[in-house]
Amino acid sequence: MSAKKLIAANWKMNGSRALVETVSQQLATLNSEVDVLICPPATLLAFFTPSEHFSLGAQDISEHIDGAYTGELSGALINEAGASFVLAGHSERRQYHGESDQLICAKIKQAIDAGLTPVLCIGETLAERQQENTEQVIAKQLAAVYASHPELLVKSVIAYEPVWAIGTGESATPEQAQATHAFIRRELAKYDSAAAAKVRILYGGSVNAANCQALFTQADIDGALVGGASLKPAEFMQICQSAKD
């Protein structure tokens, strides 16, 4: 597990220039005991002023380097926009855009080739959890990237997002989350044990100011991927503060 936690904000298709300004001002008061990542819509990246208090990320990346791919963003374009991270495999991309594990692997490779840090999102649906297939699903998602490319792990961040908990207000219990995070680390150790011990594994699934502290006390939870609560500056700051306590 990482000594310093990473709190990543996924604004999804939300946000405004006013929110950029408010969040930037508040994060300027945060010390360096926690790493913060903001992933706004791509159109808002340019409105952030580079800061030592937080990093920027994109919410998706093309599997292509360049070319006639309308609406796509390459790693080079994301980098030039000021981002140093990118989400890959978010459950909403998997669900609404039909992204396969193979496509997500290609996106991870493109991100790393462009000098970006990919945040690989993995997790099970409610049906898969009820069928007790959580570990099989996660193992398959991890293997699709790292079984053939173990060298990518050391340059990655992992985000476990139980799909049944995203935007529902229902979070996994700290014990449930820890058990799954520990399983993820054991799976990753099959590909690179040294990298698996250090890789940051974030929890994402209705994280808020009320439940984050208990999650952050767990041994294998190295931070959070925050959705709705990241759009509320005061609450997001509380989450960041909890991560450094």
pLDDT tens per residue across span 63-118:
999 999 999 999 999 999 999 999 999 999 999 999 999 999 999 999 999 999 99
pTM confidence score:
0.96
pLDDT tens per residue across span 22-60:
999 999 999 889 999 999 999 999 999 999 999 999 999
CB 31 within 8 A of CB 77: no
Catalytic residue among 124, 128, 161, 187: 161
14 token code pair: 């939300």
Q: Which amino acid is at 90?
A: H
Answer yes or no: 64 catalytic: no
In the chain, count H helices and then E strands: 10, 8
Q: Is the pLDDT of residue 1 over 70?
A: no
pLDDT tens per residue across span 114-156:
999 999 999 999 889 889 999 999 999 999 999 999 999 999 9
Q: What is the pLDDT of residue 165?
A: 80
Q: Is the pLDDT of residue 201 over 80?
A: yes
Fold of 6-244: TIM Barrel (3.20.20)
Catalytic residue among 90, 92, 99, 128: 90
CB 52 within 8 A of CB 78: no
CB 22 within 8 A of CB 67: no
Answer yes or no: 97 catalytic: no
- At 245, the pLDDT band (50, 70, 90 cuts) reads low
